[in-house]
Amino acid sequence: MRHQVVLIPGDGIGPEICRAMRRVLDAAGAPIEWEERIAGAAAVERYGTPLPEEVIDRIRERRVALKGPLTTPVGTGHTSANVALRQALDLYACVRPTRTLPGVPSRFGAVDLVIVRENTEGLYSGIEHEVVPGVVESLKIVSERACVRISEFAFQYAVACGRRRVTAVHKANIMKKSDGLFLRCARRVAERYPQIEYDEVIVDACCMRLVMQPERFDVLLTDNLYGDIVSDLAAGLVGGLGVVPGANLGSDCAVFEAVHGSAPDIAGRGIANPIATLWSASMMLDFLGEAAAAAALMAAIEAVTAEGKTLTPDLGGKAGTREVVDAVLGRLNP
Ligand code: NAI
């Protein structure tokens, strides 16, 4: 049986790394039928919208997608197609495993944590308006339903993946109602999982502890904004954005994508690190029930990083995207 997967190459380095990922999966014989669709800046040019309705419909039908990053203009222009996609498909859980790969230079030896981020509401609800000239209001929407289901997800994930602790990240000392609700829900859910330790940390203290003792953390349960920020911080602990994968999961659909953005500063130069997207593809294979193929791909990636000869410039190497892909393929099909 072949799996039907929607592929959104995206903007900036997106097409390069998605091509690279596809080359690896196709050469490895992964049973996937790709259906390519355009979103992001390219879609704005062609269809006048960054997220054509048809793209959402195709993912709804196929249920699984792998996407490259989509560019969002800063402070002006169209709203984020990434956020819109997650909301439209109710991809409520964003899962970002952040682990030191062998051979990848980083400040810490053995980081191994997972960020579980609420993906549909909070300050990313996108509800903003100008109250009077010079004063704007941005609403942070927090619902009990969303807090409970993301907490449930984090604990279930911890149990399923053999993790020992869930840490809720919050700012309930200041945002007593919104983050207060988030914490109350997390505590309620935690009571049902006595086998998993539960603790809480204020988001600013969390950032400090992450850069001092990252090994202290296991599963981080966060809202939408804190999760976004802490994800990049955590990426910095393990070698950067080129090596952190992600999944956006809902009850009906799943969209896999690296944590990084479209990296306009290196787009088109053939030096983007494909590992984050390859690892996201491995997560997707696992999700599709292709556990052996997923594990083989991860083993090949780790063999290449451990050897340390074929690394892209973000990891201190001199290799291009293509050479990394060739090296991974060499390990997969020796
Ligand atoms: P970015 O993640 O694109 O880049 C930050 C830095 O990391 C840059 O120096 C870049 O060269 C480097 N980098 C990122 N991915 C890399 C890779 N695979 N290999 C080597 N180096 C890599 O973040 P930035 O510059 O803040 O955002 C650029 C655009 O991407 C924005 O329009 C932003 O909205 C969008 N974005 C999209 C995301 C998505 O589609 N999920 C996520 C984050 C940002």
Residue showing tokens 């990053």: 69
pLDDT at 76: 78
Measured distance CA(222)–CA(56) in Å, rounded? 26
Q: What is the pLDDT of residues 151-170, one digit of tens each?
A: 999 999 999 999 999 999 99
Best of 115, 117, 241 for a ligand 1 pocket test (most atoms within 8 Å of beta carbon): 241
Mean confidence (pLDDT) of the chain: 95
What one-character-per-residue DSSP string does 245-259 give?
--EEE-SS-EEE--S
Q: Is the CB of 262 under 6 A from ligand 1?
A: yes
Residue 220, beta-bridge partner list = 115, 167
| 249 and 95 Cβ atoms separated by less than 8 Å | yes
Measured distance CA(84)–CA(78) in Å, rounded? 11
**How far, in Å, from the CA of 260 to the mean position of ligand 1?**
4
| 24 and 327 Cβ atoms separated by less than 8 Å | no
Tokens of 128: 């903003």
pLDDT at 110: 87
Measured distance CA(1)–CA(23) in Å, rounded? 20
Catalytic annotation present for 228: yes
pLDDT at 256: 98
Tokens of 27: 């050469």
| 14 and 40 Cβ atoms separated by less than 8 Å | yes
**How far, in Å, from the CA of 41 to the mean position of ligand 1?**
14
Measured distance CA(30)–CA(11) in Å, rounded? 25
Catalytic residue among 11, 157, 171, 179: 171
Check whether 78 has a pLDDT greater than 80: no
Q: Is the CB of 280 under 6 A from ligand 1?
A: no
Residue showing tokens 């494909």: 274
- Confidence class for position 105, pLDDT limits 50, 70, 90: confident
Q: Is the CB of 241 under 6 A from ligand 1?
A: yes
Instruction: List all residues 6 or more positions away from 303 whose beta carbon is below 8 Å from its beta carbon.
Output: 331
Within the chain, residue ranges assigned H as helices are: 14-27, 41-47, 53-62, 81-88, 144-160, 178-191, 203-212, 224-237, 275-287, 291-307, 321-332
H or E element: which one contains 119? none
pLDDT at 108: 84
Measured distance CA(178)–CA(83) in Å, rounded? 20
Kindly list the distances between the CA atom of residue 20 and the CA atoms of 127, 271, 273, in Å, as whole numbers in the listed order. Answer: 37, 11, 10
State pTM to two decimals: 0.96
pLDDT, average across residues 198-224: 97
Catalytic annotation present for 204: yes
pLDDT at 119: 96
Atom of ligand 1 nearest to the CA of 313: 20
**How far, in Å, from the CA of 50 to the mean position of ligand 1?**
17
Q: Is the CB of 72 under 6 A from ligand 1?
A: yes
Calculate the CA 254 to chain-centre distance: 11
pLDDT at 184: 98
Q: What is the pLDDT of residues 3-33, one digit of tens each?
A: 999 999 999 999 999 999 999 999 888 999 9
pLDDT at 73: 82
Q: Is the CB of 228 under 6 A from ligand 1?
A: no
| 242 and 275 Cβ atoms separated by less than 8 Å | yes
3-state DSSP call for residue 131? strand
Catalytic annotation present for 286: no
- Confidence class for position 72, pLDDT limits 50, 70, 90: confident
Catalytic annotation present for 171: yes
pLDDT at 79: 80
- Confidence class for position 107, pLDDT limits 50, 70, 90: confident
**For residue 141, what is the DSSP state?**
B
Residue nearest atom 42 of ligand 1, based on CA coordinates? 261
Q: Is the CB of 257 under 6 A from ligand 1?
A: yes
Nearest CA to 211 out of 277, 305, 113, 280 is that of: 113
Tokens of 261: 């953005």
Nearest CA to 283 out of 41, 85, 110, 114 is that of: 114
Q: Is the CB of 137 under 6 A from ligand 1?
A: no
pLDDT at 180: 98
Check whether 1 has a pLDDT greater than 80: yes
